[in-house]
Structures are given as C-alpha cells and as structure tokens.
Amino acid sequence: MNKLLIFFFLFLISCSTYRQNNFEGIIKFSTEITTTELAPKGFQKLLNDKYGDSLLMYYSKMETSVEFT
C-alpha cells in the first residue's frame, strides 16, 4: 500500500512539473437567437443567416527562446 501511495505521489509531482510549451486549439461559442411572435415572417431566418449560430475562435501559444551573445 505504501509503495502505491509513493508511486501515486511521484506521478502527481511529475505531472505538475511537466508543462507543455506549445499548444493550440479551437473554442466554439454557440448562441441561440430567438424572436417573439410579433417579429415579421422570415426575420428569424434573416438573423440566423446574417449572424450565424456559432463563433469559432482559434488560439495558440508558441514558446520562443531568445539568446543573447
């Protein structure tokens, strides 16, 4: 049991000390546009066509190193 706890503790330490320097990804924001019954016919479709229902946001971080000589 003690060996298992020590292994788990060492595993957690190694995970926390290792960091990824470069990463990238996509975040998708979704929205829902609604209208009331009083809105003109086709207004809901016009809003969805013009503004869409989602936004994709790209992000990245690249680690660079600068050396002075």
- Range(s) of the domain holding residue 51: 20-69
Considering only CA atoms, which of 66, 61, 65 is closest in space to residue 19? Answer: 61
What is the reported pLDDT for 67? Answer: 52
pTM of the model as a whole: 0.36
Domain count, the chain: 1
Decide if 55 is inside a domain: yes
| In a domain? residue 34 | yes
What CA–CA distance (Å, rounded) separates 31 from 22?
A: 30
Question: How does pLDDT run along the chain (69 residues), one tens digit per residue?
Answer: 677 778 777 776 666 555 556 677 888 888 788 888 899 999 988 888 887 777 778 877 766 554 554
The pLDDT score that the predictor gives to residue 57 is: 80
Helical (H) or strand (E) element with 56: strand 54-61
| Block residue for tokens 């207004």 | 43
Q: What is the DSSP letter of 52?
A: -
